[in-house]
Structure 1
């Protein structure tokens, strides 16, 4: 497990899947804003679940987010599009409704940066989020991500096009105080 101040990131367990499926995937409006793929109904226990446990892959690292204080499953996090040649990846996370608004997102971003920069030796991390996702924008900026641009009406988000904000962080710009995560 990789630990931060408020959360730990660990491998996904089989018992995480139905919880994540119910709280994150089956919330259609929220899922539609969080994923570029269209929502489709996925039956419980299906191997098609986006949370289904699988072996490691070179281009993605899936984590379950665990709140340190309670030990409860708080959500999911991932590095995706991992490019070993260019030493870059994209970052993403989703928290269960009961765990939002408590500062966990910022800690998840911090721990994912530690994983990407320290464990994987990446040079650049990037995230894309809807321009009105103030919580994610604040979390990213507090860890050192810089807004690199806006993709106008680039995302179909539950019935309407929305702007996407692109943020980036280079290893050398990662804030020193953010590096304490994960011991």
Structure 2
């Protein structure tokens, strides 16, 4: 398990999948997080969201737990890992009951440490909707810089929304000794 100050990032357990699906798998959350329309999945489907395929290269999926009680609080990933360009993207989703508690900032810090130290990456990137203030704040608290806005880049529940692109280079990263 990778540990931050408040959160741990561990492998996805089978028992996590229905919780994540119930809490984060609704139409609005799916559209906002993935840019794809929601669709139903048969229980147990290997294609369902939150099911991890460990054979896929270029992505590392985690379940996020609260270190205080080891309760599941969300999901996180390092995706689009490009070993040649030494870059990757960060994504996360917190259960509604876990939001507003500083977990997102901690998860981003742990993923930065994992990407820069374990993978030897040079650049990490986050793309998020322009109205996702908690994610923007978590990224900026970890040193990410706003690099641009992709206007009307995401189709979400019947409307186009702007997407903010944030980046962090290893040379600009300040590692937290707690990680």
Query: Which residue number corresponds to residue 180 of structure 1?
Result: 177
2:68 aligns to what SS in structure 1? coil
Q: Which runs of 5 or more structure 1 residues have no equivalent in the other structure?
A: none
Matching of residues 69-148 of structure 1 within 5 Å = 69-148=68-147
Query: Which residue number corresponds to residue 55 of structure 1?
Result: 54
Structure 1 residue 21 and structure 2 residue 21: aligned?
Answer: yes
Aligned length: 179
Structure 1 residue 40 and structure 2 residue 39: aligned?
Answer: yes
* Runs of 4+ more than 4 Å apart: none
Bigger CA drift: 35-44 or 91-100? 35-44
Contact 1:17–1:53 (8 Å) recurs in 2: no
Q: Which runs of 5 or more structure 2 residues have no equivalent in the other structure?
A: none
Contact 1:114–1:181 (8 Å) recurs in 2: no
1:180 aligns to what SS in structure 2? coil
Q: CA-atom RMSD, angstroms?
A: 1.1
Instruction: After superposition, give the CA deviation of every residue in 1:115-159 in whole Å (9 maximum; x if it has no partner).
Output: 000111000000100001000000000000000000000000111
Cα drift, residue 43 of structure 1: 2.5
Alignment partners' CA distance in 1, 2:23 and 2:119:
30
Alignment partners' CA distance in 1, 2:49 and 2:120:
27
Compute the TM-score of the two structures, normalised by the length of structure 1.
Answer: 0.94
